[in-house]
Amino acid sequence: MNTKKLTAILASSLLTISLAACGSGQSGTSGSNSGAAEKLTVIATANPHEIILNQAKPILLEKYNVNLEIIETEDYYTPNRAVSDGDADANYFQHVPFFDNEKKENGYKISNVAGIHIEPFGFYSRKYKSLDELPEGAHIITSNSVADHGRVLEILAKAGLITLKDGVDSLSATKEDIVDNPKKFDFSIEVNPEQLTNALDDPKADLVAINGNYAIGAGLKPSSDALLLEQADQTNPYVNIVAVQEGHENDAKVRALVEVLQSDDIRKFIESNWSDGSVIPAAK
C-alpha cells in the first residue's frame, strides 16, 4: 500500500484511486519472530485511538510478528470506505451506532470485530460555568452525524433539560422526538464532528456537545471541563470498535490486534493514562 497516497486521500476526504490490497489473507502470524513481519494498516483518529494503538504496536511486533502501521485521520467518513474497499486492513475510530448507520446508509462491506473503549460524551461552554446559567433559547450546537443525535438527546433528557417521547429508542431518537423543551433550546446548528471544538468559539454557541476523542484532542478535560458529562460504564452501547473488511474477521493479524487491544496490559494502560475516566476500557 502507498501510505503517503492513502494519507493524502484521507486528508481530502476522497478516495479517488484504488490502492493495492494490504495482503490481509489468512496466511498470518504464528507468534514467532522468525521471518519478515506482516504489515497491518489501521486508520485511526489521534486521541485516544492512535495513542492506544501506539501502546499496542511493540506488543504486536514482539508477540505476533505483526508490524502495525497507523494512518491518522480526523475525518469520520472516509475510514469505513477505505476498509470496505480493501485500502486498509482495519479502522479504529467509531462507536457502534455510527458504524451501524454507516454500513446501512452506504452498503459498506465491513464487520465489527471488537469493542475496545468508551469515551463519555460531554457538553461544553465558553460562556457559562453551569447549566443553570443557560438562557432561554440557548443555542446547543451538535454534530451533524445522525448516529450522535439520540445519544445527545438522551443525555439532556436524563439531566432534566428536555423530555423525549415515551418509549422512544435512545439510539434512534431525533429532535422531532422532543416533547418538552422548557427553555426553548435551539438545536438548529449542526457541524461536522471534527469541527465541534472549534464551534465553542462561535458567538452563537451557548453549549456544544462534543465527542470524547475530539474534546481530549483539544485539551479539554471532560471530568472537570464539561458542564454535563455522560454517565458511561462498560455496558455503554457507544463502545468504540475495531472494524475490518467482511471476510477478514478471522485473519491472524486481525485476531492478534484484537487480543492485544483487549489484553490486561492495554486495559491497565487506558485506566492509568485516562485516570479521570475520560476513556474507559469496554467490557470484553
Query: For residue 276, what pLDDT is reported?
Result: 85
Torsion of CA 86, 92, 93, 96, to 10 degrees: 90
Domain with CATH 3.40.190.10 in the chain: 3-119+236-281, 122-229
Longest CA pairwise span in the chain (Å): 66
Tell whether the model's pLDDT for residue 35 goes beyond 60: yes
- The pLDDT, as a whole number, for residue 6 is 53
Measured distance CA(48)–CA(27) in Å, rounded: 30
pLDDT at 153 over 70: yes
- The pLDDT value given to residue 63: 97
Instruction: Yes or no: say if 91 and 69 are a contact pair by the CB < 8 Å rule.
Output: no
Average pLDDT over residues 73-77: 90
Which candidate, 207, 171, 218, 200, places its Cα nearest to that of 48?
218
Chain centroid offset of residue 170 CA: 18
| 227-274 pLDDT, tens digit each | 999 987 666 889 999 999 999 999 999 999 999 999 999 999 999 999
**pLDDT tens digits for 181-192?**
999 999 999 999
Cβ contacts of residue 244 below 8 Å, gap of 6+? 24, 83, 89, 90, 110, 111, 113, 251, 254
Q: If 0-12 CB within 10 Å is exposed, 13-18 middle and 19+ buried, where does residue 245 land?
A: buried
Per-residue confidence at 223, pLDDT binned at 50, 70, 90? confident
CATH of domain 122-229: 3.40.190.10
Which whole number is the average pLDDT over 168-181? 93
Residue with grid cell 469496554, as numbered in its chain:
282
Domain 3-119+236-281 has CATH 3.40.190.10: yes
Cell 450546537 maps to which residue?
Answer: 141
Per-residue pLDDT, 234:
64
